[in-house]
A and B are shown apart, each in its own frame.
Chain A
Amino acid sequence: MTSVTHRPTWTPWLYLAPALLVLGGLLVYPIWQLGLISFFRYTQAQVSGGEPTTFQGFGNYSALFSDPQFWQVLLATVLFAAACVVSTLAVGCALAVLLTRVRAVPRLALMLAALGAWATPAVTGSTVWLFLFDPDFGPVNRLLGLGDHSWTYGRLSAFLLVLLEVVWCSFPFVMVTVYAGIRAVPAEVLEAAALDGASQWRIWRSVLAPMLRPILTVVTIQSVIWDFKVFTQIYVMTNGGGIAGQNLVLNVYAYQQAFASSQYGLGSAIGVVMLLILLAVTLVYLRLLHRQGEDL
């Protein structure tokens, strides 16, 4: 990005004022409360005033860190989220490029299908996918001749099934955004590259990707945040975490261990840990971009 022309004035703050007001009141403050709650014994009985709140120091955190299941779930979450992010971005970008190569009718068909997938409520999307892959009632096994193979019994195949659904409902966002970005690239640039005989992959790597970097950055960060926090898909499709909890991810774990039974102190501690991990991932990612000469 070229240098910004404006010298520091009060103008940006004026523009930011409404956003800061809303975010300060409705996000910063609750997050501060979240941090606070994570140091207390704070269950529904405390919230509704049945019992006094008691300060626990790092009690909630040590309970969390001493649970071996937590570390297992954390590892599974990181790997699963990474797989989801990579697949979603790959599918989304590939289809965005495809969209620029086709005429109006197929483009509209793909666009509409993708928008439909995006618009479907997560609960329903997960339920329908589960129906599709059901060993007894689903058409997929019939189609693939898999008999009554169960997709949710094996740990990896259950994760794979959920991954497919996650990619299905989140690639449209990537595809539409990147497609819009590609359309914004001046046609001459692409034509020049094509005339020079550059391959599709080369055009993407050397021309499109650098120009789309601001958009790709946002899309990547958002995907990381969303996929790390996957809840509905796992909860619905693996029936609350899979056989003996083999498909638990952090958000479902937090829900089962804490929120469902109103242990807000413990739940907030998990929330804080999630926040710190995501923050670290984001900062590292941004720093890498920075090193490549990119600016925020």
Chain B
Amino acid sequence: MNPPRLNRPRLNPLRHPWRTAAEASALIVAVVVAFPLYWMVLGAFKPAGEIESTEPRPWTLAPSLDSFRRVFGQQDFGRYFVNSLVVAGSVVIVSALIAFLAATAVTRFRFRFRTTLLIMFLVAQMVPVEALTIPLFFQMRDFGLLNTLGSLVLPHIAFSLPFAIWMLRGFVKGVPEALEEAAYIDGASRSRFLWQILFPLVLPGLVATSAFSFISAWNDFLFAKSFIISDTSQSTLPMALLVFFKPDEPDWGGVMAASTVMTIPVLVFFVLVQRRLVSGLGGAVKD
């Protein structure tokens, strides 16, 4: 599947100076966007006392690993990390599968209440999460899931589904009807079309959607604070970050180091995603 080349230079040689300007501005924007991130990583490496210095320098002469030591030195840090991976991983996989089916249903079929359903999918995201925490708490209690990772996985699946379904609609719609008809003419069954033809074509979209579910599950504080009550072995990574936010004397070095540690896995995930996203999509829509 070759992505279409939009910027084939031989088509229009005049584009060259423009491209140089475009590339220069892209790089400048990249630097500006990355600067806060750089500041975060820098803060993690700065020795104590230098973060809040009246002479802010964009470098440090005495990089120190103390902040990272405080992060990794926390009890059960590794455990939290694995828990976070388990939660985010399960949310991504389960919600992607469910959303794929649902998105197919609402784009390739027409049935009563279709629009109503679509709106309902959005409604859930419109209320403040704090308000839903209480009812969800009682539900998790009744399911016997409190203090387990399940109490984090289930609500996150529910909260990422509406968005995933809405996102995927566009991607599923992009697959031409003709392809589906052709598949049936070739004698493919409906489930064969669904899983062996449609699914691979929508995969890039699924991956893009998953990136979102991954982040929201990975960065969540609220559910972890509310549902993991008495069993710290079921805690997740953001809890390790929260330790550094003490009301009277926050430890900024620790905050920056913990944030860096939290951001890296997502970035890795993204880098993997990014290739799929860009390479797969063009082919998916071409007839």
Q: Report A-chain residues with C-beta under 8 Å of the C-beta of B165.
A: 19
B124 to chain A minimum Cβ distance, whole angstroms, is: 4
User: In the complex, A289 Cα to B122 Cα: how many Å?
Assistant: 17
The A53-78 residues at the B interface (CB cut-off 8 A) are none
A residues 272-287 touching B (CB-CB < 8 Å): 272, 274-275, 278-279, 282-283, 286
Q: Mark B121-139, 1 if CB is under 8 A from A, else 0.
A: 1111111101110111001
Q: Are B128 and A271 in contact (CB under 8 A)?
A: yes
Partner of A118, one of B34, B259, B270: B270
Alpha-carbon distance A177/B207, docked complex (angstroms) = 11
Known: A8-B111, A102-B22, A221-B166. Is A184-B102 also a contact (CB below 8 A)? no
Q: Which of A2, A29, A116, A118 contacts B177 (CB 8 A)?
A: A2
A26 touches B4 (CB 8 A): no
Is the beta-carbon distance between B135 and A282 smaller than 8 angstroms? no
Chain A residues closer than 8 Å to B262, beta-carbon distance: 121, 124
B99 at the interface (CB under 8 A from A): yes
Q: Which residues of chain B come closer than 8 Å to A113, judged between CB atoms?
A: 29-31, 33-34, 37
Which residues from B are CB-within-8-Å of A121? Answer: 219, 238, 241, 259, 262-263
Distance in Å from the Cβ of A47 to the closest Cβ of chain B?
6
Chain B residues whose CB sits within 8 angstroms of the CB of A173 once the complex forms: 212
Q: Is A16 in contact with B101, judged by CB distance below 8 angstroms?
A: yes
B118 within 8 A of A: yes
Q: Does B61 make an interface contact (CB < 8 A)?
A: no
Contacts of B3 in A (CB 8 A): 183
Q: Which residues of B contact A95 (CB under 8 A)?
A: 26, 29
Contacts of B125 in A (CB 8 A): 222, 225
Are B263 and A120 in contact (CB-based, < 8 A)? yes
- Give chain A nearest CB distance to B24 CB in angstroms: 8
Cβ of A267 within 8 Å of any chain B Cβ, yes or no, is: yes
Q: Which residue of A lies closest to B169 (CB)?
A: A214
Residue of A nearest to B12 (CB): A194
With a CB–CB cut-off of 8 A, which chain A residues contact B181?
A: 5
Evaluate whether A6 and B109 lie within 8 angstroms (CB atoms) in the complex, with A124-B40, A229-B128, A274-B128 already known.
yes
Check: A128 CB closer than 8 A to any chain B CB. Answer: yes
Main secondary structure of the interface of B (DSSP, over half): helix
Say whether B47 faces chain A, with CB atoms less than 8 Å apart: no
| Contact mask for chain B residues 235-248; partner A; CB cutoff 8 A; 1 contact, 0 none | 00010010001000
Q: Closest residue to B33 on the A side, CB-wise?
A: A113
CB atoms of A180 and B208 under 8 A apart: yes
Complex interface residues of chain A between 12 and 62 (CB less than 8 A to chain B): 12-13, 15-16, 18-19, 22-23, 25-31, 33-34, 37, 47
A30 vs B150: C-alpha distance in the bound complex, in angstroms?
Answer: 17
Determine whether A268 belongs to the interface, using a CB cutoff of 8 Å to chain B.
yes
B89 within 8 A of A: no
Q: Which residues from B are CB-within-8-Å of A264?
A: 131, 134
Q: Please give, as numbers and ranges, the residues of chain B lying within 8 Å of A279 by CB-CB distance.
A: 119, 122-123, 126
A196 to B51, CA, bound (A): 55
Q: Judge whether A1 is part of the interface by a CB distance below 8 angstroms.
A: yes
Q: Mark A178-219, 1 if CB is under 8 A from B, else 0.
A: 011111111100110011000000000000000000110010
B13 at the interface (CB under 8 A from A): no
Tell me if A116 and B37 are in contact (CB < 8 A).
yes
Which partner residue on chain B sits nearest A115 by CB separation? B270
Total interface residues in chain A, CB < 8 Å: 107
Contacts of B169 in A (CB 8 A): 214, 218
Which of A129, A184, A215 contacts B282, CB < 8 Å?
A184
Q: 22 pairs across A/B with beta carbons < 8 Å?
A: A16-B101, A26-B157, A31-B124, A37-B131, A98-B29, A100-B7, A113-B37, A116-B33, A120-B37, A121-B219, A121-B262, A124-B263, A131-B51, A176-B277, A177-B208, A179-B278, A214-B169, A221-B166, A228-B126, A229-B126, A271-B131, A283-B119
Q: Which 6 A-B pairs have the closest CB atoms?
A: A187-B4, A26-B158, A119-B266, A33-B135, A124-B259, A15-B105
Residues of A within 8 A of B (CB): 1-2, 4-6, 8-9, 11-13, 15-16, 18-19, 22-23, 25-31, 33-34, 37, 47, 95, 98-103, 106-107, 109-125, 127-129, 131-132, 136-139, 142, 168, 173, 176-177, 179-187, 190-191, 194-195, 214-215, 218, 221-222, 225, 228-229, 231, 251, 254-255, 259, 264, 267-268, 270-272, 274-275, 278-279, 282-283, 286, 296
B residues lining the A interface (CB < 8 Å): 3-7, 11-12, 18-19, 22-23, 25-27, 29-31, 33-37, 39-40, 43, 51-54, 56, 58, 97-99, 101-102, 104-112, 114-115, 117-128, 130-132, 134-136, 139, 154-155, 157-159, 161-163, 165-167, 169-170, 173-174, 177, 180-181, 190, 204-205, 208, 211-212, 215, 219, 221, 238, 241, 245, 252, 255-256, 259, 262-263, 266-267, 270-271, 274, 277-278, 281-282, 284-286
Q: Could you list 13 further interchain pairs (A-B, Cβ under 8 angstroms) beyond the known A101-B7, A109-B27, A229-B128?
A: A5-B181, A26-B136, A102-B26, A113-B34, A117-B36, A119-B263, A121-B238, A177-B167, A270-B128, A272-B127, A274-B126, A274-B127, A279-B123
